[in-house]
Amino acid sequence: MKNYILIIFSLILVSCGSETLEDKVNLAIETENTEKLKRLKRELKEQRKTLDNLSTQIQEALSDKGDQLSNYTLITAKRIQKDTFNHFFTLQGNVQTNQNILIYPEFSGELQKIYVKEGDVVQKGQILAEIDHGGLSDQIQELKTRTQLTKTIFERRKSLWKDSIGSEIQYLEAKTNYESSLSALNNLYEKYKKVKIKAPFSGTIDNIITDEGQIVAPGGMAIFRLVNLDKMYIETEVPENYLDDIKIGTPVEVRLGAINKTFKAQIDQMANYINPDNRKFMVKIHVPEHIENVKPNLIANVLINDYINPETIIVSENVLQETANGSQVTFTVKMQNDSVGKAIRTPIKAGKIYNGRVEVIEGLKENDIIAKEGGRTLRDQEDVIITTLEQ
Chain segment 52-105, per-residue pLDDT in tens: 665 456 555 545 555 555 688 899 999 999 999 999 999 999 999 988 899 999
Cβ neighbour number for residue 175 with a 10 Å cutoff: 17
Tens of pLDDT along the chain (391 residues) come to 444 444 444 444 444 444 455 666 666 666 666 777 678 777 777 766 775 665 456 555 545 555 555 688 899 999 999 999 999 999 999 999 988 899 999 888 989 999 999 999 999 999 999 998 877 777 888 888 888 888 888 888 788 777 777 787 888 888 888 888 888 888 888 888 888 999 999 999 999 999 999 999 998 899 999 998 888 999 999 999 999 989 999 999 999 999 999 999 999 999 999 999 999 999 999 999 888 899 999 999 999 999 999 999 999 999 999 888 989 999 999 999 888 999 999 999 999 999 999 999 999 999 999 999 988 889 999 999 999 898 8
For residues 21 and 51, the answer to whether their CB atoms sit within 8 Å is: no
Q: What sign has the CA pseudo-torsion 341, 346, 351, 355?
A: positive
For residues 100 and 204, the answer to whether their CB atoms sit within 8 Å is: no
Q: How many angstroms separate the CA atoms of 79 and 341, rounded?
A: 14
For residues 200 and 101, the answer to whether their CB atoms sit within 8 Å is: yes
In the chain, where the domains are located? 2-69, 73-97+231-391, 100-226
Q: What is the pTM of this model?
A: 0.59
For residues 232 and 219, the answer to whether their CB atoms sit within 8 Å is: no
Q: What are the C-alpha distances in Å from 281 to residues 101, 115, 383?
A: 25, 43, 55
The pair phi, psi for residue 49, each rounded to 5°, is: -65, -40
CATH superfamily of 73-97+231-391: Efflux pump adaptor protein, beta barrel domain (2.40.30.170)
Q: What are the C-alpha distances in Å from 313 to residues 81, 245, 330, 368?
A: 6, 22, 13, 10
- Which region holds residue 326: left if phi is over 0, alpha if psi is between -120 and 50, else beta? left
Q: What is the pLDDT of residues 241-258, one digit of tens each?
A: 999 989 999 999 999 999
Among 138, 130, 101, 100, residue whose Cα is nearest residue 216: 130
Q: What are the C-alpha distances in Å from 127 to residues 201, 208, 210, 224, 328?
A: 11, 14, 16, 12, 70
For residues 125 and 198, the answer to whether their CB atoms sit within 8 Å is: yes
For residues 339 and 72, the answer to whether their CB atoms sit within 8 Å is: no
Same fold, 73-97+231-391 and 100-226: no
Strand partners, 197: 129
To the question of domain 100-226 being in CATH 2.40.50.180, the answer is no
Q: How many angstroms separate the CA atoms of 235 and 223, rounded?
A: 28
For residues 374 and 75, the answer to whether their CB atoms sit within 8 Å is: yes
Longest dimension (CA), the chain: 176
